C-alpha cells in the first residue's frame, strides 16, 4: 500500500513498500522552524528531529511554484497565504488552507505545484512490472515516425545491467530533471535517492544516447494520496512562545503523475494548532511495558512487554466505527492540475 512520508530519511519497507515524498510538508515545517527555532515536543518524536535537520530552500523548491508560511491567526497568516497562493496559482483549489482561524491559532502551510511536459509525446504501449501486464509508455519501434525525437528525450546516465540503470527523461523546463532509476534500494529513501543521483553523468559520448533498436518501457504512474503524521499530533510543544500548544493536525496530500505526456506533482500540507491541548488520556490500547521494581533499586525484578491479548480476558471484538453521513467522501474541488494525467487520446 503506498504511503506518504514527510521526510526523505524514512526507511524503505519491503516487500511492497511504495513510498512517496513531496516537499510541501517540509516547506511548512521549515517556516515553523525559521519562526520559532527547532520545534520541540514532549516526548520528542524522531520525525520532528528529522524535519528540524532538513534544509530545503530555493535550491530544492523554486519559490515560483510553491507557497509556504507559518504564524498566528491574529497576525493575518491565513489572509497572507491565500493572497500569495491565488496570485501564483489562480486555479488552485486548496482543501487544507482554512478561510479563517482564531487569533491565537498557530498555522503552518505548504503548497507546491510543478508540471513538466515532454516536447514529443512518447508512445503508449504495454509493459510488464513484477509479473503483471501494465500500461506503459516508451517507443513504438517503427522505422519511421516520432521515435527519433523520442530517443532524443532520453539521457542514459548509467547502465550496469537490464535491471540496473539510471536514465533521464528530458522535459520542457531545462531547470528540472525527470530521473528514473531501476536499482536495488538502500535502507532509507534518502540513501536510495543519493545512490541514484550519484550515478548521474557516468556515461559519455554515444553511450548516453538511446540507440535505435534499444527498448524503452516505463509504467504509467498516477497517485493521489493523503498522509497523516500522528506522531506529531497531540504532544505538548515546548518553548516560551509555543509552550502549552500542540498540533491538532499534521497532514499532506500528494498528487503525482508520470506518463507519455510528462510528469508533475501537486501537494498541499498543513500543520495546525487551533485550541487548547486535548485532555490527557492513559488508555493502554497498544503494546506497553509493565515493570515491578523496588523503589531504590536500579533494575526491576519483573519486566513484561505486552503486545498481544494472550494474557488478557478478551470480551469480544471492538465494534466498527459508525458509518459516515450519506454523501461523505473525498473533499470536493480537488481536481487534477493542468497537465495532470495522460494527454488526450490520439496524441501518442
pLDDT tens for each residue of 326-341: 443 333 334 444 444 4
Rounded mean pLDDT of the chain?
87
Task: Give strand ranges (E) for the chain.
Answer: 3-5, 19-21, 66-72, 106-117, 123-129, 132-138, 154-161, 164-169, 178-182, 217-219, 221-228, 249-259, 262-273, 288-292, 302-306
Task: With beta carbons less than 8 A apart as the criterion, state whether 233 and 249 touch.
Answer: yes
pTM of the model: 0.80
Across 305-331, average pLDDT = 69
Residue 142 pLDDT: 81
What is the CATH number that goes with domain 3-116+222-273? 3.30.497.10
Across 303-310, average pLDDT = 85
| pLDDT beyond 90 at 221 | yes
Across 81-88, average pLDDT = 97
**278: pLDDT confidence band, cut at 50, 70 and 90?**
low
Amino acid at each position: 500500500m503506498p504511503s506518504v512520508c514527510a521526510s526523505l530519511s524514512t526507511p524503505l519497507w519491503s516487500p511492497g513498500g511504495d513510498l512517496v515524498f513531496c516537499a510541501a510538508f517540509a516547506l511548512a515545517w521549515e517556516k515553523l522552524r525559521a519562526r520559532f527555532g527547532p520545534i520541540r515536543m514532549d516526548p520528542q518524536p524522531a520525525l520532528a528531529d528529522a524535519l528540524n535537520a532538513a534544509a530545503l530552500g530555493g535550491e530544492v523548491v523554486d519559490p515560483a511554484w510553491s507557497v509556504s508560511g507559518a504564524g498566528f491567526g491574529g497576525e493575518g497568516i491565513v489572509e497572507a497565504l491565500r493572497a500569495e497562493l491565488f496570485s501564483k496559482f489562480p486555479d488552485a483549489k486548496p482543501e487544507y488552507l482554512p478561510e479563517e482561524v482564531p487569533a491565537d491559532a498557530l498555522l503552518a502551510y505548504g503548497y507546491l505545484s510543478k508540471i513538466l511536459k515532454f516536447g514529443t509525446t512518447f508512445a503508449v504501449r504495454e509493459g510488464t512490472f513484477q509479473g503483471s501486464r501494465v500500461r506503459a509508455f516508451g517507443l513504438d519501434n517503427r522505422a519511421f515516425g516520432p521515435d527519433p525525437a523520442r530517443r532524443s528525450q532520453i539521457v542514459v546516465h548509467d547502465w550496469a545491467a537490464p535491471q540496473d540503470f539510471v536514465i533521464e527523461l528530458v522535459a520542457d523546463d531545462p531547470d528540472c530533471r525527470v530521473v528514473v532509476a531501476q536499482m536495488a534500494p538502500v535502507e532509507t529513501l534518502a540513501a536510495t535517492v543519493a545512490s541514484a543521483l550519484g550515478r548521474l553523468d557516468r556515461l559519455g559520448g554515444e553511450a548516453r544516447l538511446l540507440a535505435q533498436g534499444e527498448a524503452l518501457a516505463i509504467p504509467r504512474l498516477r497517485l493521489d494520496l493523503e498522509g497523516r503524521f500522528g506522531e506529531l499530533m497531540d504532544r505538548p510543544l515546548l518553548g516560551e512562545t509555543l509552550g502549552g500548544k500542540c498540533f491538532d493536525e499534521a497532514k499532506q496530500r500528494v498528487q503525482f503523475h508520470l506518463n507519455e505526456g510528462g510528469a508533475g506533482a501537486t501537494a498541499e500540507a498543513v500543520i495546525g494548532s487551533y485550541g487548547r491541548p486535548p485532555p490527557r488520556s492513559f488508555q493502554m490500547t497498544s503494546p506497553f511495558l509493565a515493570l515491578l521494581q523496588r523503589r531504590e533499586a536500579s533494575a526491576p525484578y519483573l519486566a513484561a512487554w505486552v503486545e498481544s491479548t494472550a494474557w488478557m480476558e478478551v470480551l469480544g471484538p471492538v465494534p466498527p466505527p459508525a458509518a459516515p453521513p450519506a454523501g461523505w467522501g473525498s473533499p470536493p474541488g480537488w481536481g487534477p492540475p493542468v497537465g495532470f494525467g495522460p494527454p488526450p487520446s490520439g496524441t501518442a
